[in-house]
Amino acid sequence: MPLTDQQCRAAKASDRPIKLADAQGLYLYVTPSGYKSWRFKYRFAAKERRIVFGPYPDLSLRKARDLRDDARKELREGKDPGVEYKRRSARRTSGIDTSRTFEAIARRWHELQSPQWKERHAHDVLASLSAEVFPVIGGSEIAAIRPAQIRELLEKVQERGAIETAHRLRQRISAVYRYAIASDLAEMDPAATIGGALRPVIKNKQPALVKLSEAREFIRAFEADPGHPTTKLASRLLALTAARPGVVQMAQIGEFEDLDGPDPIWRIPASKMKLARAKSEREEFEFIIPLARQTVDVVKVAAQHARSRRYLFPSARHSHRPMTDNALNTAYRRLQSFTGRHVPHGWRSTFSTIMNERAIDLDRPADRAIIDLMLAHEPEGVESRYNRAAYMPRRRELAQEWADLLMEGIAPPVTLLDLPRR
């Protein structure tokens, strides 16, 4: 039962500390000396933690519950309420105008910009700022932050090898400052010149196996290595369709049609494609992938394994979410014999290279444009709508040809459910 104020007042000291539980992690802590304080116990990042809210009765039962509810809300948002509580306390004691802190202004900037972004991009922008920037400079007044502080923040990011992330964060910090300057909240952008102090981003092609024999060898090795069936099924669908890894990760069973009919397809909503926001909201920009027999088998086995969950490849920890966007990358890296030679995104190059070489060898020049269309590349110089029926018969023939080539000698997907797991 939740505590009452009368119980809190009546609590007596003992020779040992006493904990009087209220609800949802909040409790009154009474020391042997009789000092009473409100504390909140919670778990974050798989560790048990606690916050001391303040002394009773200076801090009332009602106010303690309000603080607990705030902390639980921050937990649901993926934040550590202990860190957030300390940050707010520091602001109160330092006299900083919280409406002019970098975090407050960055959140206003994000709210203004996010309607023109895809939902996932808007989430990624705020998540990156929350994880990397707010804990360091979020509580500082935006006009008082110096270039050296931002450089030090970004250098720590790139020290762990995340060079491209460091550059992306600098761009986002600069965007926040441009908003602040336009709003008369700052006079300069201290991140503007930091780019020259960061390591350059070296753009390399995604490692990919471009020989059919090596592609088959990779599939056998990867599927024989101990691992989760969901990851192996997702990898096989990726290899067979040459779709982008993010699209496979977010695949839902309702997107697959006519699986028992003559013309099975995967209808990918425009919102999941690599398109500008304006196009991603229009139905005509959805993309259709014709499915080979072997691909249909993978989808059916994956659907059976997912057991009517929302996503075809659900997370092992959170069944209502899709597998993480790094699951396949991590699994591929564990295969030491192919380290640095092939990544999930590489299947697009594998498909393109092998099938284009066949088009040349078999004197089928018209196939090259169709292969490009199968990779969802937008044509240049014209209104680039994805025509849902464009060259579909030939695309279906090429999809089956690719599946027959790639899956030669490979066990059926149902066998992936019984292989050793990590």
The full set of domains in the chain, from first to last, is 5-80 (3.30.160.390), 98-197 (1.10.150.130), 212-418 (1.10.443.10)
Q: Is the pLDDT of residue 315 over 90?
A: no
Write down the pLDDT at residue 165: 86
Across 96-101, average pLDDT: 73
Residues 6+ apart with CB under 8 A from 40: 25, 26, 27, 50, 51, 53, 67, 68, 71, 81
Write down the pLDDT at residue 405: 97
CA distance 90 to 86: 6
Q: Kindly indicate the confidence band of residue 339, based on its pLDDT and cuts at 50, 70 and 90.
A: confident
Q: pLDDT tens for residues 349-388?
A: 999 999 999 999 999 999 998 998 898 765 443 344 445 4
Across 270-299, average pLDDT: 71
Across 56-77, average pLDDT: 88
Q: Kindly indicate the confidence band of residue 397, based on its pLDDT and cuts at 50, 70 and 90.
A: very high
Write down the pLDDT at residue 193: 85
Q: Is the pLDDT of residue 117 over 90?
A: no
| Residue 157 in tokens | 């990011």
Planar angle of CA 128, 91, 83, nearest 5 degrees: 50
Backbone angles phi, psi at 307, to 5 degrees: 55, 55
Write down the pLDDT at residue 383: 40
Write down the pLDDT at residue 404: 97
Q: Is the pLDDT of residue 289 over 90?
A: yes
Write down the pLDDT at residue 218: 96
